[in-house]
Amino acid sequence: MKTWKMLAAALAAFALSPAAALAGATHVAVAANFTDAATEIAAAFKEKTGEEAVLSFGSTGQLYTQISQGAPYEVFLAADAARPERAVAEGLAVDGSRFTYAIGRIVLWSADPDLVEGAETLKAGAFDKLAIANPATAPYGAAALEAMRALSVYDGLKAKIVTGNNIAQAFQFVQTGNAELGFVALSQIAGKEDGSRWQVPVELYQPIRQDAVLLTKAAESDAAKAFLAFLKGPEAGAIIEKYGYATGAGS
Partner 1 sequence: MDASSEIFSAVALTLKLATVTTLILLLLGTPLAWWLARSGSWWKETIAAIVALPLVLPPTVLGFYLLVALGPSGPGGALASLWGARTLAFTFEGLVIGSVVYSLPFVVQPIRNAFEAMGERPLEVAATLRASPLQAFWNVAVPLARPGFLTGAVLGFAHTVGEFGVVLMIGGNIPGETKVLSVAIYDYVETLRWREANILAAGMVAFAFAVILAMTLIEKRVARPGA
List residues binding partner 1 (CB under 8 A): 59, 61-62, 65, 68, 128-129, 131, 134, 136-137, 161-165, 172-173, 176-180
Least distance to partner 1, CB of residue 152, Å: 22
Integer CA distances (angstroms), 242 to 31, 35, 100, 191, in order: 18, 13, 17, 9
Alpha-carbon span 193 to 113, nearest angstrom: 10
Alpha-carbon span 148 to 154, nearest angstrom: 5
Among 35, 34, 30, which Cα is nearest to 83's? Answer: 30
Question: In the complex with partner 1, which residue's Cβ is closer, 62 or 210?
Answer: 62
Query: Do you know the residue count of the chain?
Result: 251
Question: In the complex with partner 1, which residue's Cβ is closer, 60 or 210?
Answer: 60
Question: In the complex with partner 1, which residue's Cβ is closer, 58 or 248?
Answer: 58
Question: In the complex with partner 1, which residue's Cβ is closer, 99 or 154?
Answer: 154
Question: In the complex with partner 1, which residue's Cβ is closer, 59 or 247?
Answer: 59
Question: In the complex with partner 1, which residue's Cβ is closer, 170 or 214?
Answer: 170
Least distance to partner 1, CB of residue 130, Å: 10
Among 75, 121, 114, 101, which Cα is nearest to 217's? Answer: 75
Least distance to partner 1, CB of residue 73, Å: 16
Integer CA distances (angstroms), 165 to 32, 64, 140, in order: 10, 14, 11
Full DSSP string of 23-58: HTEEEEEEEGGGHHHHHHHHHHHHHHHS-EEEEEEE
Least distance to partner 1, CB of residue 128, Å: 6
Least distance to partner 1, CB of residue 162, Å: 3
Least distance to partner 1, CB of residue 97, Å: 22
